[in-house]
Amino acid sequence: MTGPVQTPPDLYHVLDQLCPMHAVLDATGHILHVGPTLQKLRPGTPLPGQRFLEVFELHRPRSVTTMAQLLAIGGVKLHLAFRTTPRTALKGCVTKGPVPEQVIVTLGFGMSIHEAVATHALTSADFAVTDLAVEMLYLVEAKSAAMEASRTLNLRLQSAMMAAKEQSLTDTLTGLKNRRAMDNALWRLIENRDRFALMHLDLDFFKAVNDTRGHAAGDHVLQHVSAQMLQEVRQTDIVARVGGDEFVLLFPGLTDHATLDDLARRIIARLEQPVIFEGKSCHVSASIGTVLSSDYANPTPDRVLADADVALYASKHAGRACHRFYTPDLRS
């Protein structure tokens, strides 16, 4: 009496080379042999000797629930996964083996190859030399690298655009906002019908600093007074240099006379302190004119700035180092 027909060892070797993701099953569904890559997916747990359907869960065809049914559907595409984690998804096909009462299940990763390679630390040596999965993996990696390079480039471009935009709204000498930024902010406040106050500040005696100490001293004074003004305002306020020694300060939500007058006087007091440049004192002061949005039914940027300018020159005519609120009688 003869026993079960044995698969020649040489055939296993050939299968391992041609299809390292395969399993040889007997008629009872027990695994007789697996390819080296398939075994690598379950290190430390020998697959031979286990029942195929106890190792793998068959997702499609859903009608197949027994080994007999599995053995009867040769050539049909299978969708399956390991029952234990990591539950790597696989695709496969059943075909009759060269030995009677044995079948060969060839397996592959399909579109999940990238995840499988990362999960199981697979290399090109784990695939047949003719397997297009390796080329597919290279394409996926190349695409990922290209997408990452593109994302990095986009981030750099966005950063450069933001920096360029910020630079276009910044006075290069003082670091304050420039005229363009102030115009934009004023327009938004008016468009949104927000309450605000606007101060037009002009330095007194600044020309004398340039004439007697030079333009380097004048630049130093401008930087100093800019820093001093920033010390007095809120983070939500806007301080902009709109001319050589002219500044506009915007105060969103602030229209209280007493608060604004006190703020203007504190700014003037700060700016009257001597500024030291190369061991010598530079002296300036400031005149300020203020307008309130609450004084207008329908304010416009041009009207607000023009009235602030009127109030500013009223301050200068009052003896400089003064602060005036705009009132219509100042135009008479």
pLDDT of residue 1: 43
| Domain 9-129 = CATH 3.30.450.260 | yes
Distance of CA 91 to the CA centre of its chain: 37
Q: What residue spans of the chain are helical by DSSP H? A: 9-18, 36-40, 52-55, 67-71, 113-120, 132-168, 179-191, 206-213, 215-232, 257-271, 301-317
Choose among 78, 134, 132: nearest CA to 105. Answer: 78
Choose among 119, 116, 106: nearest CA to 137. Answer: 116
Q: Which residues of the chain have pLDDT under 70?
A: 1-9, 132-134, 136-137, 140, 166
DSSP 166-229: HHHTB-TTT-SB-HHHHHHHHHHHHHTT--EEEEEEEEESHHHHHHHH-HHHHHHHHHHHHHHH
pLDDT of residue 183: 94
User: To which CATH superfamily is domain 179-331 assigned?
Assistant: Reverse transcriptase/Diguanylate cyclase domain (3.30.70.270)
Distance of CA 197 to the CA centre of its chain: 36
pTM exceeds 0.85 for this model: no
146-163 confidence digits (pLDDT tens): 888 888 888 887 877 777
